Amino acid sequence: MVPAPTPSVARVITPQAPLVSSAVSFAQALTGSTLAVTNDDMPKPMSRGETVGIKITRDFYERGMNYCKINLRGRLVLNKGDKPYSTKEIETKLQKLWKTGGAWSMLSLGRGFYEFFFANETDMRTVWAASTMNLRPGVLRLFEWSKDFNMHTQRNTHAQVWIRLLKLPQEYWMERTLREIASAVGTPLLIDKVTTKRLFGHYARILVDMDLSHKLFHEIVVEREMFAFTLAVAYEWMPYFCTHCQSVGHDVSACRRLYPRKETTTSKEQIAQGKKQVPVQKVTWVPTKENPSRIGSSTTFGPIAANIKVPINVDDVTEAIPAPVLDNTTMEKEIATAFVDKATESETLEMEIETEHMNL
């Protein structure tokens, strides 16, 4: 008996999974990343004459905006001769000055500019209210984060200013209401503690960040339903602002762009010329007009000593007066006569004294 054949069973062969290469790219090896990065669906570049253009994805750009919206930027200003800081040295100094609840970090952008990343908006506004930090040496000036930052064209037009809302009724002193009113002239940063505790009711005091390139208002119209009133605003201090170069720190009258300094550099040829010895020429006095009588000159006294007759009249109208001449014989006679007179006077005085004694 022949055994019946066994029914054939269909074999299911599962396809083998594709092999994944364990090799990593050079960029992944440098960054330590093992994530697979694909370059699919990349936008195509477009030729723009001598340059090339590329259009980025808007969704990812908005994600980057949200990541940076609570950042601050700052610029370190050093005096001439100050030693430059490293990023670590600046961070160490700021750790002692900034009292924040969360962690923060900083990034160097070049040319003295830095970007600061904060964990929350509260820490950002607390640091921003401090505005300028004195690092000794050097000053760090903070300003609001803005998109499309270019350090080469950056102009600092913002400044932190304390404002006073004068004669504001107490029902408007809620923190939210004060911030809304102050936002009419700038970005509110901090409300004074005296205002928060309502210890002084003459005015509400608020620190705001102002763009000085915009118009400055001294009155605010506060509106609510079916009512509006005008509120006076006073600024405690305003920094110098140049309307020419749109920059804070100097007035337009001292703008170097408008009134550049004259260079006083000296060339090498001028320096070498200055080291040479220049011979000094002796100045010869030349009279400006004729002086026949030689008045004011030392030669006037020479002819008198030599017994020379010299006219002393400037106009030469009168005759010259001769100088007196004394010979030796006359001088001896005068001296002898003087001695005889002296002896005679002495003898007469003695005779008078003897006569007075005899009479006594």
How many CB atoms neighbour CB 158 within 10 A? 20
Domain range annotation of the chain: 56-144, 161-254
Q: What is the pLDDT of residue 14?
A: 47
pLDDT at 108: 92
> pLDDT confidence of 197, banded at 50, 70, 90?
very high
CA atoms of 17 and 8, how far apart (whole Å) = 28
Q: What pLDDT does residue 68 have?
A: 92
Spatial separation of the C-alpha atoms in residues 104 and 66, rounded to whole Å: 17
Instruction: Judge contact between 323 and 304, C-beta under 8 A.
Output: yes
**CATH number, span 56-144:** 3.30.70.330
Q: In what order do the strands lie in the sheet with 113-118?
A: 104-110, 113-118, 72-77, 139-144, 132-134
SS3 313: coil
pLDDT, one tens digit per residue, over 232-275 is 999 998 877 787 777 776 777 777 777 777 666 666 777 777 66
Q: Token pair for residue 286?
A: 């030349």
* pLDDT tens digit sequence for 264-304: 666 677 777 766 776 777 777 666 666 666 666 555 555 55
- Which value, to the nearest 10 degrees, does the dihedral of the CA atoms of residues 24, 29, 32, 37 take? -50
Lowest-confidence region among 5-14, 225-234, 242-251: 5-14
CA distance 74 to 116: 8
**What predicted TM-score, i.e. pTM, was given to this entire model?**
0.48
Residue pair 240/251 in contact (Cβ under 8 Å)? The answer is yes
